[in-house]
Amino acid sequence: MSEEFSFVGKPTAKLDAPSKVTGQAIYGHDMRLPRMLYGSILRSEYPHARILNIDTSRAKALPGVKAVLTAKDIPEIKIGWARDHPVLKAGKVRCIRDEIAAVAAVDEETAQEALELIRVEYEELPGVFDPEEAMKPGAPVIHADAPNNIQEKMRQSYYHGDVQKGFQESDVVIEDRFRLPFVTHCCMGTSFCLASFNPSGDLTVWSSTQMPFLYQRDLSMALGMPAHKIRVIKTTIGGAFGSKLDMYPFEPICILLAKETGRPVRIAFSREEEFVASPTRQPVICDIKSGARKDGTLTARQVSMILDNGAYSSWGATTPLVMMLTISSLYRVPNVKYDVVVAYTNNPYSGAMRGYGNPQATFVLESHMDMLAHELGMDPMEIRLRNANQPGDVTGQGVKITSCGLTDCIQSAAESVSWKQKRAKSGNRGVGMASMIHVGGGARIYPSDGCGSTVKVDDFGKVTLISGSTDMGQGADTVMAQIVAEELGVPVENVTVINADTDITPWDVGAHASRTTFVAGNSARLAAADAKRQILEAAAESMGDSVQDLDMKEGRIYRKGEPEEWIPFEKMVRSKHFQLDGDVVLARGWYEPPTEKQDKEYRGNISAAYGFATQAVEVEVDTETGEVKVLKIAAAHDVGRAINPMAVEGQIHGGISMGLGYGLYEELMVQEGRVLNPSFADYALPTVLDMPEIDSIIIETDDPAGPFGAKGMAEPACIPTAPAIANAIFDAVGVRIRELPVTPEKVLKALKEKQAREEEDR
Amino acid sequence: MEAMTMKLNGEEVTVHIKPDAMLLDVLRDELRLMGTKEACGQGECGACTVLLEGEPVTSCLVPALKAQGREVMTVEGLASAGELHPLQKAFIEHGAVQCGYCTPGMLMSAKALLDRNPHPTEEEIKEAISGNLCRCTGYVNIVQAIRAACAE
C-alpha cells in the first residue's frame, strides 16, 4: 500500500534528532535570560491545617532575595476547571503540595535558602485520605462549599440498554472490585516555567505546555489580564505524557514573581518536588458486574467507580469521560451502566496521564473478560473474537466505528506469542492478552477540536509549515513534514516545521487524546494542497497548459504522463513572485473533525476515528518469590496507516514500558497524604533490564477520515499492557490479582490463599 | 572561589568555582555547556553522565574539583571535525531519540562502553545503560542504535 507514496509510510528520522544528539537542543531548563531570577515555592508541612500566621520577614531580608509573595500580596485567584484551586493558599492548606509562599532570588541556592527562613504557624486539622472515608458523615470537610466532600460536577451516570434485563439473560454473572494506584509521569525534564514582562506589560511565558492556546486563555483568566497581551512559547519539552495538559499554581506564581520584580523569573522543579508536586495518574476504586451467555456473548456490564479527587480538581477527576468510551464500547455490549462519584480528600490531586483513565478502565474490563472466559471454560481469545467490534458498528453510546482492525489485532498478537501452543499449560509460564479502544480522530470535549496551519514556500524551495500543533518529543513535527512533503510534492528535506508560539501559529486545542497526527495532520494536508494548487496554477499559466494536466512530485513539476520532462518547482515559485502582478506562495488550512458534541446523556460520536489494539504477553512466575518475569509482549496496533513506522514503533515501545511499570513495578506510595517515595531510588521506573522482547505489529486499516488513512495511536500503546500481564499470570499460576501493581508480595499471598483453598476442598 | 583547570572535550579550560560546586553545575552554569542534563540531582537517573578519564560518572554527584587536571568529555565533545560520532548517527537513524532529555547521558554511557569494548554483546550493552533512565522510548531503539554503531 505504501509503495505509491514517496514519504508517507517510510521510516523517517526525527527532524529534531540531530540537535538532541549533539546537545544543541535548548530545553526550558537550559534557557538563561539577562537578569533572570530563580523562583522557589514553600509548600505545606501538613496535609490538612489552618494557616495561623506566615512570617516572611527573614526571607525578605536575605541578600539576593528580590521578592517574597504570599496570598495577601496577590489578588485571590482560583484555577483549575472547577475553580477550586487557589494559587497561593490563605486560611488553610488541604494537601502537602499546597503553595504557601514564593520567593524570587538571584540564584537557585538563595531561593531555596530563603524558603527555610519563612515561618509558618499551623493548626493541624484531622485529614481524610480515602475517598470512601471522605464521603462518610462526620468526615473532615475539605472545601466549605462541598460539605459532603463530593465533587458534584463530576458525579456521572451513564447507561444504554437495561443491565438488569441483561443480567437476567445471562448464563454467568460475576462481580469484583478492582483498585488502581497512584503512579506518576516521571518525565525526565521536570516541571518548568519562565516568565518575562516587557515594559508595556506584555507577558511572554516559555513553557513545556502541551496546550499553548488553552494555557494562554487560562493564564489570562488567572492573572486578570487580556489574552492578547500574553505570548506562550513552547520550549523543547523533556517529556509530558499529559502532565503538561493543565495549568498549575507554580505557573501563575512564576508570572506574579516576574511582575513583582520586573525581571524574568524561572521555576524548575527538583526531582523530589516533581514527585511530590506534579499531578499523578487518577487512582480508581472500581466495582464491576459482568454478564455473558454460555456461548460467550456479552450481555451486560455494570460499573461503578469511586475516584479520589485529591484536594483540588485537575483533569484526573474528568477521566470518567474517557473511561465511559471504553466501558460503553469496548467489545459489543448491549446493556451498560456506569456510575461515578468523585470525592475530595487531603491526598495529592491527579491530572491527565497517557490514556487519561483508559488504562484504569481497561485493566478492570479486560481482567473481567478473562474471568468470564474462565467461568465459561472458554479460551480468552475466543470470547474476545466473539464480541469484537467491527467496522460500521455504532455502539450504545453513539460511537461510530469506521475503520476497525480489532479482530486482526487479536489474532496477530495471539499468533506472535504462540497462543494456542502456550495457553493453559502446566508449569509456571502463561500467556494473556488484552485489547483496547481509544479515540484516534480527535476528541470533541472542547468547543473546538480543530487545528490551523499555514504553509509558505519561498523562492528557494524551502517549505515552512506553521502549525498550531505541539510536538512534545513524540515526533509529531516529523510526521507533519512527511504529510506536507507528500501532499505538496516536495522532498521531505525541504520542509521545516514551526509550531507552538501563540503569536505566530494558528490555533490548536492541544496535544491530547492522541489527536495530533489526525487533526494537525489533516490541517497540514489541507494547507499543503492549497500551496500545491497555487504553484500548479502559476505553472499552468507560465507553461500554457491547463492545471489538470500538470502534477508535482518530489519537487518536480511535469505534465501528467511525461514525468521525464520536468522543471524544478522553485523556479515556478520565483517566476510567480518576480513579476509586476506577482504573488508569493502562502497557503492555509483549518481542519475541524466532523464529530458530535455529547448530549446531556453523554451520547455522541466524539471522535472521527477510533484506534484499537491488542497486546499479548508471555510471563514466567517464580512461585518461591512471587516475581513475575515478562518474557515477550506482542503488540498489535490498528493505526490506520503508519505515516512514520519508526515513530509508531517508538510509541509502542515507550507505551509498553509505561504499561509494564503500571502493571508490575510503579506505585507512588501516599500515606496520610504524604509521598513516601519521592525519588528514582524508591520509585521503580522500568530500566532497560526490565524490558522484555517486543514484537510490534502494525495493522493498517486505512481510515477514511485520517490523513493518508492515519489514526492516533500514542496513548493506546500503554493501555492494554497491565491487564494482559495480569491475565497471563492467571494462565501461568491460576491467581487473579485485582490491584496494581502486581507485586511479588501480592502474588505470593494469592498463591498461598489458593493453596489453602485447594487443601480445604480436599 | 578556586581556580580549576581540566581538559574538557580536548581543550584546556580554566574556571573559577566555589569549592563545593558539582561538576554538572560547573559544566552548565560556568561553562554554558547545556548538553549535559540534570534530571534528578541524586545520581539515580544517568541523565548527567559525562566521561571522567574515560569512565562514565554521574556529574551531579562529582565535586568539580575531582576533575582538576583530568580529562572530561561531554556530549558536545562527541562529534569531531564537523562529523557526528557513529553513535550519534546511529541514534538519529534508529529512532533512539524522542524527547531527547536522556539522550546525552545515554550517548556518554554508550561511548564509555565502546571505548573499552568495541564489540559488546546485547547483554553488555544493556548493562552499560542500565543506570540511564528513559521514559519515552522503552529503550528498544537505543539498544539497536548502539549495536548498529558497533558494527561500524
What would the DSSP string read from start to end of A341-358? EEEE-SSPPB---TTTTH
What Å distances lie between residue A140 and A56, A82, A148, CA to CA? Answer: 29, 20, 9
Beta strands A65-70; A99-105: pairing state: antiparallel
C-beta of residue A475 within 8 angstroms of C-beta of residue A644:
yes
Q: Which of A:34-73 have CB within 8 Å of B? A: none
Q: Which of A:617-656 have CB within 8 Å of B? A: 646-647, 649-650, 652-656
Tell me what pLDDT residue A490 has. 97
Q: Closest Cα to residue A753, out of A629, A666, A622, A626?
A: A626
**In whole angstroms, what is the distance from residue A563 CA to residue A560 CA?**
7
For an interface test with A, which of B101, B107, B109, B142 has the most A Cβ atoms less than 10 Å from its Cβ? B101
What Å distances lie between residue A280 and A181, A353, A357, A385, CA to CA? Answer: 10, 7, 12, 34
**In whole angstroms, what is the distance from residue A267 CA to residue A194 CA?**
6
Q: Which three cell numbers stand for residue A433?
A: 492478552
Q: Which residues pair with A101 in a beta bridge?
A: A42, A70
Q: What values do phi and psi take at B28, rounded to 5? A: -80, -50
Contact B92 A17 (CB under 8 A): yes
Ramachandran category for residue A220: left, alpha or beta (phi over 0 → left; psi -120 to 50 → alpha) = alpha
What's the whole-number mean pLDDT along residues B3-31?
97
CATH architecture for segment(s) A31-125+190-237+244-277: Alpha-Beta Complex (3.90)
Whether B61 contacts chain A with CB within 8 A: no
| Domains delineated in chain B | 2-77 (3.10.20.30), 86-150 (1.10.150.120)
Q: Closest Cα to residue A638, out of A707, A705, A715, A711?
A: A711
Q: How far is A295 from chain B (nearest CA, A)?
A: 39
Q: Closest Cα to residue A710, out of A609, A591, A635, A621?
A: A609
Residues 6+ apart with CB under 8 A from A33: A194, A196, A264, A266
Cβ-nearest to A688 among B88, B130, B135 = B130
For an interface test with A, which of B28, B51, B135, B137 has the most A Cβ atoms less than 10 Å from its Cβ? B135
Q: Which of A:388-407 have CB within 8 Å of B? A: none
Whether A164 contacts chain B with CB within 8 A: no
**Residue with grid cell 506562495, as numbered in its chain:** A585
C-beta of residue A449 within 8 angstroms of C-beta of residue A482:
no
Instruction: Give the H or E element holding residue B41.
Output: none
**In whole angstroms, what is the distance from residue A668 CA to residue A677 CA?**
7
Q: Which three cell numbers stand for residue A227?
A: 489574552
What's the whole-number mean pLDDT along residues B114-129?
97
Whether A739 contacts chain B with CB within 8 A: no
**CATH class of the domain whose range is A284-443+599-761:** alpha beta
**Residue with grid cell 499554581, as numbered in its chain:** A249
Quickly count: other Cβ atoms within 10 Å of residue A585's Cβ: 23
Nearest 5°: CA angle at A259, between A253 and A260?
Answer: 90
| Predicted TM-score (pTM) of this structure | 0.97
C-beta of residue A219 within 8 angstroms of C-beta of residue A252:
yes
Where exactly does CATH 3.90.1170.50 map onto chain A?
A: 31-125+190-237+244-277
Residues 6+ apart with CB under 8 A from A382: A296, A373
Q: Which of A:436-475 have CB within 8 Å of B? A: 472-475
Tell me what pLDDT residue B152 has. 67
Chain B residues in contact with A679 by the CB 8 A cut-off are 40, 42, 44
Q: Provide the terminal-to-terminal Cα distance of chain A, rounded to the nearest Å.
A: 60
Beta strands A265-268; A284-292: pairing state: unpaired
Residues 6+ apart with CB under 8 A from B81: none
Residues 6+ apart with CB under 8 A from B61: B22, B42, B43
Q: In what order do the strands lie in the sheet with A99-105?
A: A65-70, A99-105, A37-43, A265-268, A192-197, A203-207, A230-234
Q: Closest Cα to residue A240, out of A182, A181, A183, A189?
A: A189
Q: How many CA atoms lie within 13 A of A40 on its CB side?
A: 20
Chain A residues in contact with B24 by the CB 8 A cut-off are none
- With CA atoms as reference, the chain A residue closest to B86 would be A21
C-beta of residue B35 within 8 angstroms of C-beta of residue A24:
yes
**In whole angstroms, what is the distance from residue A607 CA to residue A95 CA?**
36
Q: Provide the terminal-to-terminal Cα distance of chain B, rounded to the nearest Å.
A: 45
Chain A residues in contact with B44 by the CB 8 A cut-off are 679-681
Give the three-state DSSP class for B130: coil
Tell me what pLDDT residue B151 has. 79
Q: What values do phi and psi take at A179, rounded to 5? A: -130, 130
**Residue with grid cell 503540595, as numbered in its chain:** A97
For an interface test with B, which of A10, A22, A186, A188 has the most B Cβ atoms less than 10 Å from its Cβ? A188
Where exactly does CATH 3.30.365.10 map onto chain A?
A: 2-24+450-591, 284-443+599-761
Q: Which of B:84-143 have CB within 8 Å of A? A: 84, 88, 91-95, 97-104, 107, 126-127, 129-143
Cβ-nearest to A647 among B28, B95, B127 = B95
Q: Closest Cα to residue A28, out of A187, A186, A230, A183?
A: A187
C-beta of residue A732 within 8 angstroms of C-beta of residue A428:
yes
Chain A residues in contact with B137 by the CB 8 A cut-off are 650, 653-654, 657
Chain A residues in contact with B79 by the CB 8 A cut-off are 22
Contact A238 B39 (CB under 8 A): yes
Q: Which three cell numbers stand for residue A596?
A: 458530535
Question: What was the ipTM of the complex prediction?
Answer: 0.98
- With CA atoms as reference, the chain A residue closest to B34 would be A30
Cβ-nearest to B88 among A21, A240, A681 = A21
Query: pLDDT under 50 in chain A at which residues?
Result: 1-2
**In whole angstroms, what is the distance from residue A557 CA to residue A551 CA?**
6
Whether A144 contacts chain B with CB within 8 A: no
Cβ-nearest to A30 among B34, B92, B98 = B34
Contact A27 B47 (CB under 8 A): no
**In whole angstroms, what is the distance from residue A272 CA to residue A278 CA?**
10
| CATH code for residues A2-24+450-591 | 3.30.365.10
Q: Which residues pair with A629 in a beta bridge?
A: A620
Q: How far is A20 from chain B (nearest CA, A)?
A: 6
Q: Is B61 exposed, middle or buried (0-12, 13-18, 19+ CB in 10 A)?
A: middle
Q: What is the band of B124 on the pLDDT scale with cuts at 50, 70, 90?
A: very high
Contact B88 A22 (CB under 8 A): yes
pLDDT tens digit string along A107-142? 999 999 999 999 999 999 999 999 999 999 999 999
Chain B residues in contact with A271 by the CB 8 A cut-off are 39-42, 45
Amino acid at position A552, single letter:
M
C-beta of residue B50 within 8 angstroms of C-beta of residue B61:
no
Q: How far is A717 from chain B (nearest CA, A)?
A: 11
C-beta of residue A489 within 8 angstroms of C-beta of residue A552:
yes
